Structure 1
Amino acid sequence: MPWSPLSWSTLLQPDLILGTSVLGLTPELLEHYGLKGLVLDVDETLVPVTMAEASIELQEWVASVKQTTDLWLVSNNISQNRIRRIAESLSLPYILGAGKPSRRKLRQAVQAMNLPSDQIAMVGDRLFTDVIAGNRLGMFTILVEPMINPAKEGQRYLLRDIEVWLSQILGATLPLEKQNATNLDKS
């Protein structure tokens, strides 16, 4: 397949802005979009970066979703102990040190699922790593709200706000306020 450059607005534009944490991604919503696989970021997408345990709610969500959908964890984090511990508590395969937005390790998870990349979603809380990486591989991309450490509830995620602001300048259609499961067609 010949290489064709994607514009910044295309690279940064998620297909779906969930407007809530990953826990709002239901099997019905996955079926609606024809998704049979999910590549999940770990830090702030599944577990607050300050924690090393998957919550009971996350464990229940994974158990529910994995009945119909293949799941892989792909993290930029290089802490073998932390990521392995989270992956094992969820009984999921994982890749660490992914270097997203690089596609190399993300492609490994996609190939392991043995599904067309457009039936696999890259799910993450970051535009400049998760969404760009997924879009570069032709995956369906889902932007979720970061998982919040209950002790830090109400704290703003400045980096996320800066990414949204910069993405808007570069042409992506991203609201600063939360949306509810809104489909955004790629152009």
Structure 2
Amino acid sequence: MSWVLNLQPDLILGGPILSLTQDILHHHQLKGLVLDVDETLVPFNSSEASEELMEWVAEIRQVASLWLVSNNLSESRIGNIARSLNLDYFLGAAKPSRRKLKEAADAMSLPVERVAMVGDRLFTDVLAGNRLGMFTILVEPMLDPTKTELFSPIRDFEVWFSQLLGVSLTGKQQNFTKPDRSR
């Protein structure tokens, strides 16, 4: 499988994770979500989940199992976020390694084909999920609204570089078909 196909998300939300709905999960027959933390659920420097995120988790957990998988090594920060959302978690996942994603799917007792990897980064979240055979969902980063510059330099570079490689990140919003990765 080529790098380009491994970097291609199955679904691009075009908004933050809060725009991921039960209807989207039902449409794709997803029963579990592996969620990145930094800039997917909370801004990078935040150690608390917003009330809006807590409400989203309560709604989504009615139809899907949830698990946090972060590359971050801060037990106090990631653990605090996970506890506030009442979710299990792994830290130090070393994504794009697939190991912790597989462990999370196994802990949810779900086949990887029924689990989506949801994140804001192509070279960690999307790449890891695609390498494992998960459905992959790219979301816009959750950035700190108090900052004057609302951009994510690493993600912006990844998007630019991926597009140079031929990854299509336009016109895939709410794309309900999985690309053929057999090539």
The TM-score with structure 2 as length reference comes to 0.94
The aligned counterpart of 1:3 is none
1:34-183 map, 5 Å: 34-152=29-147, 154-175=149-170, 180-183=173-176
SS at match of 1:182: coil
Structure 1 SS opposite 2:146: helix
List runs of 5+ in structure 1 lacking aligned partners: 1-5
- Does residue 20 of structure 2 align to residue 25 of structure 1? yes
Q: Does structure 1 retain, via aligned residues, the 8 Å contact 2:126–2:138?
A: yes
Q: Deviations 1:129-151 (Å, cap 9, x if unpaired)?
A: 00000000000000000002120
Q: Distance in 2 between matches of 1:23 and 1:154?
A: 21
Asked if the contact 1:21–1:146 (Cα under 8 Å) also holds between the matched residues in 2, the reply is yes
Q: Secondary structure at the match of 1:72?
A: strand
Show the counterpart of 2:4.
9
Deviating beyond 6 angstroms after TM superposition, the runs of 4 or more aligned structure 1 residues are none
Query: What residue identity is the alignment partner of 1:42?
Result: V
Counterpart amino acid of residue 165 in structure 1: W
Q: 1:14 to 1:184 in 2, by over 3 A?
A: farther
| Matched residue type, 2:175 | T
Q: CA RMSD in A?
A: 1.5
19 and 85 in structure 1: CA distance in 2 versus 1, 3 angstrom threshold: same
> What SS class does the counterpart of residue 141 from structure 1 fall into?
strand
Give 3-state SS (helix, strand or coil) of 1:186's partner.
coil
The TM-score with structure 1 as length reference comes to 0.92
What is the rounded CA distance, in whole Å, between the counterparts of 2:148 and 2:169 in structure 1?
Answer: 23
**Identity, % of aligned pairs?**
60
SS in 1 for 2:158: helix
Alpha-carbon distance in structure 1 between the residues aligned to 2:84 and 2:48: 8
Superimposed CA distance per residue, residues 26-66 of structure 1 (whole angstroms, 9 cap, x where no aligned partner): 01111011100000000000010111000000000000000
